[in-house]
Amino acid sequence: MRCVKCPDKAVIELRRHHSPFCKPHFIEYFENQVERAVRRQGMLSPDDRIMVAVSGGKDSLTLWYVLNRMGYNTTGLHIHLGIGEYSDASYDATLAFAKQHDLEVTTVDLSKTYGMNVPDLSKALRRVACSGCGLSKRYIMNKEAHERGFDVVATGHNLDDEAATLMGNVLHWQMGYLARQAPVLEATTEKLVKKVKPLYTVTERETAAYALLHGIDYVEEECPNAFGAKSLLYKDALNRIELESPGAKHQFLLQFFENARPRLEVGADEHELRDCAICGQATTTEVCAFCRMWQQAKRRVEQKEERRQLREAEAAAPTT
Amino acid sequence: MRCVKCPDKAVIELRRHHSPFCKPHFIEYFENQVERAVRRQGMLSPDDRIMVAVSGGKDSLTLWYVLNRMGYNTTGLHIHLGIGEYSDASYDATLAFAKQHDLEVTTVDLSKTYGMNVPDLSKALRRVACSGCGLSKRYIMNKEAHERGFDVVATGHNLDDEAATLMGNVLHWQMGYLARQAPVLEATTEKLVKKVKPLYTVTERETAAYALLHGIDYVEEECPNAFGAKSLLYKDALNRIELESPGAKHQFLLQFFENARPRLEVGADEHELRDCAICGQATTTEVCAFCRMWQQAKRRVEQKEERRQLREAEAAAPTT
């Protein structure tokens, strides 16, 4: 199979574009997609200080690589979540990448900074790990970017991630989430940093291919908590549709942004923002969701410790 | 496994309701579902003259059976589509059911009344059979009901049908279709008869079980044109999601009607209705979509015949 743009042999075929590409033309295609998304959606300015959220996986490292190659001023932010070997490998991959490309990286260790890692937090809350993890990551990303004076936070969400999120929001008709799902979230207040998703028009497979062709050494294993997650179920359902209708995922997401979201935004609940009574970050409630969650987790750990001490004291007391 | 309502052995388990049912309690459940849908959505009145669109498949025969059992005044409408043996078997099943239950049935033969059956129409239009077929059925249902003075047309669309349609509309964000998808379409003008879908809260599987338990002798084969249809692809994707999240389909559809559609209706294009210049039925354009399609099909058949005659004449002419 020949490249659609030159007589060279194709290394990848993109069915949704009816196009086989050789290595240089695939790289050109991929970078054009990202550039176009950034330009059309007004994501980044040349003098923006950009904080790239880097997990160490293919999406975030590719994003960092591409933005750096495009000449943007980037700093990585890696949050060490403490999810066993997976997190250690993610940390190592991130630091190795930063060193190799001479890029700056800031790290936050969840356990050291906030007192618990993701598994402990999940255990204390008796909730699936993903909910506490997601909330913590979003909070920390914004807090670090704001406190360190960054103009924008960029995340590596790709087309498959965004389409799966949209599918979940649509299956439950989560009107609030639907009104807010977007490739760009502007800073509505000084404390909420602008968020952008420059990879939202490229697929997971395309991102993996780009990473591979550039020798980006990313962590291949999925987070162990993702197993059985609904997002994987939705990705799978969408992939079946995509298989018979190439381009379906892209159309689903893009048509949503163009046609549906503008209508769903109308009348969506507008909340007034104020400062969290504990941490001072922007929130719609007195105490922000992050502080409430961590307070609850810490209280539960303390209660457990108190019960343990009580049991020990009772066991040590002389029986009468 | 025991019935959730009595000590008898269950014949079916409905995972989405966490409920195994014995035969009488399943029948009670099913009929309650239909009754509730009819009542809550204001679908039918006791003195309505109801035209039930009957294909001869499980959904339409079950609908007819249930409505008749509930005491409604029903007449069947069967459209013979001329899709080979499938249509003949459907016609036979419909007439046998009507005879067995002493019900009245009106039949329209597409080929005799309009000059072409579905395969010929599809060939003339060079379009997939389903588009011409669906448009023709909707038109004929309304026309027959209106001309014969019926108050309402009832169709056998079940939860899976409606969820698959919704999925298709959502994947393409068809705002017009989304604004109009509903279990009840009120008569907006005198010429558009009210349409209702009393089975929209029961699944395909539940409908098949009900038909089986009542010995309803329906045509089991699918329409041969349905093979590869997008609706089957969407049903399949939804079934995978349902398997891991029982109740997902129901929630997807019901939440849409409750939360999303009211917002999508706002600002949806309102078209003024007028009489079709050819057939006089209600339409938004000068000539209605049905008449336009059939005109085109007939013109193409005539052109083909003219070309054939020309070729014959040329072949018969003496060579000079």
Q: Which residues of B touch A175 (CB under 8 A)?
A: 259-260, 263
Tokens 């689903």 -> residue? A252
Is A232 inside a domain boundary?
A: yes
Take residue A265 and report the two structure tokens written for it.
């935004």
Both B216 and B305 in a single domain?
no
* CATH number of the structural domain spanning residue A159: 3.40.50.620
C-alpha A69/C-alpha A252 separation (Å) is 30
For B255, which of A173, A230, A255 is closest by C-beta distance? A173
Take residue B60 and report the two structure tokens written for it.
């339409």
| Residues in Cβ contact with B125 at an 8 Å cutoff, skipping those fewer than 6 apart | B132, B293, B296, B297, B300
C-alpha A282/C-alpha A290 separation (Å) is 11
B195/chain A closest Cα distance in angstroms: 25
From the list A124, A153, A144, A135, the residue with the least C-alpha distance to A60 is A153
| Smallest CA–CA distance from B249 into chain A, residue | A171
Both B284 and B254 in a single domain?
no
- What stretches of A101-148 show up as alpha helix (H) in DSSP? 110-114, 118-125, 129-147
| Residues in Cβ contact with A163 at an 8 Å cutoff, skipping those fewer than 6 apart | A234, A235, A238, A249, A252, A253
From the list B32, B27, B35, the residue with the least C-alpha distance to B11 is B27
Query: What is the bridge-based pairing of β-strands B73-80 and B49-53?
Result: parallel
Is A13 inside a domain boundary?
A: no
Q: Which residues of B touch A236 (CB under 8 A)?
A: 240
**Interface membership of A251 toward B (CB under 8 Å):** yes
Take residue A176 and report the two structure tokens written for it.
């609030």
Query: What is the bridge-based pairing of β-strands B73-80 and B104-109?
Result: parallel
Both B215 and B289 in a single domain?
no
Q: Is A275 helix (H, G, I), strand (E, B) or coil?
A: strand
Cβ contact A150:A104 at 8 Å: no
Take residue B69 and report the two structure tokens written for it.
């059992």
Q: Divide the 320 residues of chain B into consecutive groups of 10 and give the mean pLDDT of each group.
A: 95 94 97 97 97 97 98 97 95 97 97 94 91 94 97 97 96 93 92 97 97 95 84 94 95 95 74 91 93 95 92 83
**Interface membership of A230 toward B (CB under 8 Å):** yes
Both A100 and A168 in a single domain?
yes
Determine which of A174, A175, A251, A263 to mutate to test the interface with B (most B C-beta atoms within 10 Å): A263
Report pLDDT for A144.
97
Helix A248-255 and helix A230-244, axial crossing angle in degrees, nearest 10: 120
Is A56 inside a domain boundary?
A: yes
Phi, psi for residue B22 in degrees, rounded to 5: -75, 175
Take residue A252 and report the two structure tokens written for it.
């689903």
Both B228 and B305 in a single domain?
no
Both B211 and B117 in a single domain?
yes
Report pLDDT for A210.
97
CA dist A24 → A10, A21, A76, B72, B121 (Å) = 10, 8, 27, 69, 48
Report pLDDT for A214.
95
Tell me the pLDDT tens digit for each residue of A95-136: 999 999 999 999 999 999 999 999 999 999 998 888 899 999
Q: Looking at the 3D structure of chain B, how many domains does it have?
A: 2
Residues spanned by the domain of A127: 41-270
Is B29 inside a domain boundary?
A: no
**Interface membership of B264 toward A (CB under 8 Å):** yes
Contact A240 B233 (CB under 8 A): yes
A226/chain B closest Cα distance in angstroms: 15
Contact B173 A266 (CB under 8 A): no
Both A295 and A265 in a single domain?
no
**Interface membership of B241 toward A (CB under 8 Å):** yes
Tell me the pLDDT tens digit for each residue of B219-259: 998 888 887 788 899 999 999 999 999 999 999 999 999 99
Cα within 13 Å of Cα(B149), Cβ side: 0
Phi, psi for residue A5 in degrees, rounded to 5: -110, -15
Structure ipTM: 0.87
From the list A188, A192, A178, A184, the residue with the least C-alpha distance to A265 is A178
A31 pLDDT exceeds 70?
yes
**Interface membership of B232 toward A (CB under 8 Å):** no
**Interface membership of B290 toward A (CB under 8 Å):** no
A159/chain B closest Cα distance in angstroms: 14
Is B212 inside a domain boundary?
A: yes
DSSP B132-160: HHHHHHHHHHHHHHHHTT-SEEE----HH
Tokens 């697929």 -> residue? A203
A8-12, A80-84, A219-223, B27-31: the lowest-pLDDT one = A219-223
Report pLDDT for A267.
61
Tokens 């997939």 -> residue? B128
Is A36 inside a domain boundary?
A: no
Q: State which amino acid sits at residue B205.
A: R
Residues in chain B: 320
For A248, which of B171, B260, B264 is closest by C-beta distance? B171
Residues in chain A: 320
Contact B252 A170 (CB under 8 A): yes
Number of alpha helices (DSSP H) and beta strands (DSSP E) in chain A: 13, 10
C-alpha A280/C-alpha A285 separation (Å) is 12
Is B15 inside a domain boundary?
A: no
C-alpha A152/C-alpha B167 separation (Å) is 35
Cβ contact A60:A197 at 8 Å: no
Q: Average the pLDDT over A14-43 and give the result.
A: 96
DSSP B185-234: E--SSTTS-EEE-TTTTS-HHHHHHHHHHTT-----SPPGGGTT-HHHHH
Both B226 and B236 in a single domain?
yes
Report pLDDT for B226.
83
Take residue B65 and report the two structure tokens written for it.
């059976």
DSSP A284-306: SSSS-HHHHHHHHHHHHHHHHHH
Both B264 and B187 in a single domain?
yes
Take residue B16 and report the two structure tokens written for it.
């989405």
Contact B266 A263 (CB under 8 A): yes
Report pLDDT for B268.
61
| Residues in Cβ contact with B281 at an 8 Å cutoff, skipping those fewer than 6 apart | B139, B142, B143, B146, B191, B275, B288, B290
Both B265 and B282 in a single domain?
no
A270 pLDDT exceeds 70?
no
Both B167 and B299 in a single domain?
no
| Smallest CA–CA distance from A253 into chain B, residue | B171
Q: How many residue pairs from chains A and B have C-beta atoms closer than 8 A?
A: 68
**Interface membership of B262 toward A (CB under 8 Å):** no
Report pLDDT for B84.
93
Report pLDDT for B267.
61
Report pLDDT for A227.
75
Is B87 inside a domain boundary?
A: yes
From the list A200, A252, A163, A172, the residue with the least C-alpha distance to B174 is A252
Residue B51: which H helix or E strand, with range?
Answer: strand B49-53
Report pLDDT for A131.
86
What is the largest distance, in Å, between two alpha-carbon atoms of chain A?
93
| Whole-number percent of chain A with pLDDT over 70 | 98
Instruction: Determine the straight-line distance between the first and last CA of chain A, rounded to whole angstroms.
Output: 88
Both B276 and B204 in a single domain?
no
